[in-house]
């Protein structure tokens, strides 16, 4: 019964939006690939390079998230495909930037653009890669890495650049989409800090029986341990969606916030949603905040 009340991702395939998201994500990857390689070459410190690589993957991942919203890509499967494509483009183009640097001895965006023809010549790309693997491109403590050891390092780099966007796409919470209005629901977070939900199963049963009464019955929570209620709302839609998280702030409010989802995108009718929105003040979040 509860599963029937939870939002289910749309299977509608928005081809123009999907293509737009791939183009925008790829353009971002091409630009960032040059910047990433410039930093890798100019700061030849292994530990710094590791953070730069992870940061490159993270920026690509969060960029993809917003391009996905722009393209109205409605489900996780399509987002994973988008993340994989853009992550691969980012990995490939940072190599093009590196080969241009090896050939010219300088970092020039113009030279980088002029060598985009490597996209159409994967055989030459692989030939250069195998040649570089024989002579080495990494050095640590006076040891130059070549052959299998270097393949491992490059594999880890690929794992971070491609894997982090995939992880971000997979972990990102589902956002309801209105097919009637062809837009994403707007998220509102109630200002009240409600009591922490302890008996979760009973609470969910009460939500099913009478959502409005269950929410109204909640008392105020502890400043460092409480529940947060948010509403995905579109004016005029028949169905709205409620989400509830338990929040615990470590070290009596001075540490990090630990958030546990109690229920996500629970479907309620429009009248119930309006009553709750009128009773409890809420903050409208910007699109980049959720």
Tens-digit pLDDT profile for residues 88-130: 999 999 998 888 887 776 677 777 777 777 777 778 878 888 8
Look at residue 102 in the predicted model and tell me its pLDDT.
79
Burial 182-194 (b: 16+ CB within 10 A, else e): eebbbbbbbebbb
Instruction: Report domain extents, the chain.
Output: 3-171, 177-289
**Residue 142 above 70 pLDDT?**
no
Look at residue 192 in the predicted model and tell me its pLDDT.
94
Q: How far is CA 115 from CA 22, 27, 52, 100, 165, in A?
A: 21, 16, 24, 7, 26
Please report which confidence band the pLDDT of residue 157 belongs to, taking 50, 70 and 90 as the band edges.
Answer: very high
- In whole angstroms, give the CA distance from residue 177 to residue 156: 36
Least confident of 44-53, 84-93, 131-140, 176-185: 131-140
* pLDDT per residue as tens digits for the range 51-63: 999 999 999 999 9
* pLDDT per residue as tens digits for the range 259-290: 999 999 999 999 999 999 999 999 999 988 88
- In whole angstroms, give the CA distance from residue 202 to residue 255: 30
* Cα 91 off chain centre by: 18
**Residue 138 above 70 pLDDT?**
no
Look at residue 144 in the predicted model and tell me its pLDDT.
66
**Residues 163-168, mean pLDDT to the nearest whole number:** 97
- In whole angstroms, give the CA distance from residue 188 to residue 185: 10
Q: Which stretches of the chain are assigned E, i.e. beta strand?
A: 138-140, 143-145, 177-178, 183-184, 186-190, 225-233, 239-249, 257-269, 282-284
Look at residue 148 in the predicted model and tell me its pLDDT.
80
What is this structure's pTM? 0.86
**Residues 237-263, mean pLDDT to the nearest whole number:** 91
- In whole angstroms, give the CA distance from residue 63 to residue 138: 29
**What are 239's strand-pairing partners?**
269
Look at residue 109 in the predicted model and tell me its pLDDT.
77
Query: Can you give the C-alpha Rg of the chain in angstroms?
Result: 24
**Residues 189-211, mean pLDDT to the nearest whole number:** 95
């Amino acid at each position: 019964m509860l599963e029937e009340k939870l939002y289910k991702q749309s299977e509608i395939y928005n081809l123009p939006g999907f293509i737009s998201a791939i183009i925008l994500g790829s353009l971002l990857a091409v630009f960032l690939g040059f910047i990433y390689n410039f930093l890798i070459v100019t700061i030849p410190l292994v530990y710094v390079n590791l953070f730069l690589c992870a940061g490159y993957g993270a920026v690509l991942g969060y960029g993809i998230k917003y391009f996905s919203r722009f393209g109205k890509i409605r489900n996780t499967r399509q987002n994973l495909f988008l993340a994989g494509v853009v992550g691969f483009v980012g990995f490939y183009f940072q190599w093009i930037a590196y080969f241009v640097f090896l050939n010219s001895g300088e970092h020039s965006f113009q030279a980088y653009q002029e060598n985009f023809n490597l996209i159409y010549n994967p055989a030459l790309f692989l030939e250069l890669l195998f040649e570089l693997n024989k002579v080495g491109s990494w050095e640590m403590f006076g040891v130059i890495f070549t052959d299998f050891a270097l393949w491992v390092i490059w594999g880890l780099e690929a794992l971070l650049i491609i894997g982090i966007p995939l992880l971000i796409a997979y972990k990102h919470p589902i956002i309801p989409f209105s097919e009637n209005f062809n837009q994403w629901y707007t998220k509102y977070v109630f200002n009240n800090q409600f009591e922490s939900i302890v008996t979760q199963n009973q609470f969910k049963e009460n939500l099913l029986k009478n959502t409005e009464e269950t929410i109204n019955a909640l008392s105020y929570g502890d400043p460092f341990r409480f529940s947060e209620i948010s509403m995905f709302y579109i004016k005029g839609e028949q169905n709205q969606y409620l989400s509830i998280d338990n929040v615990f702030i470590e070290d009596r409010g001075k540490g990090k916030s630990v958030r546990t989802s109690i229920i996500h995108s629970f479907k309620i009718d429009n009248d119930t949603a309006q009553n709750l929105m009128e009773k409890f003040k809420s903050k409208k979040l910007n699109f980049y905040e959720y």
